[in-house]
Amino acid sequence: MRQVIASPEAPQAVGPYSQAIKVGQFVFTSGQLGLDPATGAFAGEDIVSQTRQALHNLDIVLQAAGSDLAHVVKTTIFVIDLGDFKTVNQIYGEYFESAPPARSTVQVAALPLGGLVEIEMVAVVE
């Protein structure tokens, strides 16, 4: 059974997609930018603030689905500059200190709204 997940505490979708979809014991998130849900603006103009906010937003969406960051099995990170990889990696490591999920990181030409980083996740719901 397919269930749409939406949290008012996370940024609203900027297009025709859901924040996440729950199917069985899995939740698949859409990519999250570093947008502050209260203002709709980026949490900052730098990679640090946008990465932290994107991870926070994902945690909120996962909680709305009955999961959390501890149950993430796969992430994909999109950055517009792989020169930011070390910084993103350091922040990411703060959220996944032990037994981190599988991950891919790719550089892209651009992200929606001019973002610097976008992150999506797949997690287990127990």
Domain boundaries, the chain: 2-124
pLDDT of residue 13: 87
Does domain 2-124 sit in CATH 3.30.1330.40?
yes
pLDDT at 14 over 90: no
Q: What is the mean pLDDT of the chain?
A: 97
On whether the CB atoms of residues 21 and 2 are closer than 8 A, the answer is yes
**Over residues 31-55, mean pLDDT:** 97
Distances (CA, A) of 102 to 49, 105, 113: 23, 10, 27
